Amino acid sequence: MRLLLSLVILFGVGQQSWADKNLDKVDKLSSALSDSVKSKSLYLSLLNSSKALDKGKIQESIYVLGVLGARLHKDLGNYKIYTSKLKKNYPKSILASELSLKNLSDACKKCDGSKTSERNCSKCKGTGKCKNVKCVDGQYDGFEYIDGKFTSVKKDCSTCSASGICNGCEAGKRMAKCTPCRGKGYKYNARIALAKYEGMITTLVADIQTVKVESEKQGKLAKGLVEVDGAWYTKDELELKRKKEELARDFAEKDAELARKLAAVKSLEEEGLNLLAAVEATTADKSEQFIVEIEVYLKKNPYFSKIEKLRSSLSYCRLIRDGQKYEVKGSVDDAIVTYKKALQIKGDQQLSRKLKKLGKRSIGL
């Protein structure tokens, strides 16, 4: 009951202003409204809460709940009061259209919505025969004054036009306005009314929450706050937020640049290691092809971790190249000297065999 008293206070001011003063109570509305379905006293408290409300959507919703709740609690007085209030204050209410008896009913089980049902004829009591008890097969015994005396004769029954059957039905049955639904074709179902009541409660709570959110927003705007991505800030906080974001972006850009440089250095380092491994693995006669490649790399990356070894490999390749040139010119002794220098840098069996051959040539063998 205390919850409903807070509800009364909550609705005791205009739709916008109550949210400012009672934001902590708004979240309790759902259970309070739901309780009004089960308890008539809580239902009446809900109605009282609407009295001081400004005209608007929330008041209209409570008036509709007033009518529906009156049906559920069988409160004829409030049914008349809130039906009248709805018509007077909200004549074009879409919500009110949901309150028609037809929208709160099921099709009549007796007539299946046809509005009429078959019943025993009241004239013949369901026999299908002429209601004249004297009539037998359309005729009855009568008397006529013939030759100075009354004589018994058969006469046609005027009630059934001599047919012998009831002229008000067919075989004792006739269609008449359905009694259970009073000829409407549908009957009120409290379960449907309850479902609508609960559905409108859900809608009302959503409306109240909307007002709450809007009220909070207007209150914050009035205080000079600014909304950004769903959060509220003062102008100073917003400026501080902007500076922090700029600083974060600067750090992120610097980190990204550093990461790019580190990746480039790593890539160059791997390139140098691969080049060095290739030179180490090749034979002397194929060393010359690496000279240009090593020269270009050394210019590109003077900070290679094994630069001295790579320079030594470059010297080796150049000596092999020079030795091959001396051979072509026929300068065997110069070739031998050059190849020996190359062997001092890198041992190579192929080159050693070549030196032996060149040595024999130099002494004429």
**244-268 pLDDT per residue, tens:** 999 999 999 999 999 999 998 899 8
| pTM strictly above 0.75 | no
User: Which of 35-49, 96-110, 119-133, 213-227 comes out lowest in average pLDDT?
Assistant: 35-49
- Ranges of each domain in the chain: 2-107+188-222, 116-177, 260-362
Q: What is the pLDDT of residues 316-343, one digit of tens each?
A: 899 989 988 998 888 988 988 998 998 8
Mean pLDDT of all residues belonging to the chain: 78
Q: For the chain, what percentages of helix, strand and coil (3-state, to nearest 5) are there?
A: 60, 10, 25
Q: Are 180 and 187 in contact (CB under 8 A)?
A: yes
When pLDDT is cut at 50, 70 and 90, the band that residue 218 belongs to is confident
User: Which of 16-25, 68-77, 300-309 comes out lowest in average pLDDT?
Assistant: 16-25
Residue 8 has pLDDT above 60, yes or no: no
Specify the 3-state DSSP secondary structure of 243: helix
Q: Which residue has the higher pLDDT, 94 or 345?
A: 345
What is the rounded average pLDDT of the residues 210-235? 83
Which two structure tokens, joined as six digits, stand for 215? 């009220």
User: Which of 138-142, 293-297, 305-309, 329-333 comes out lowest in average pLDDT?
Assistant: 138-142
For residue 219, what are the CA distances in angstroms to 7, 11, 70, 222, 227?
A: 22, 19, 37, 5, 12
What integer pLDDT is reported at residue 248 of this predicted model? Answer: 93
Specify the 3-state DSSP secondary structure of 223: coil
Q: Are 124 and 172 in contact (CB under 8 A)?
A: yes
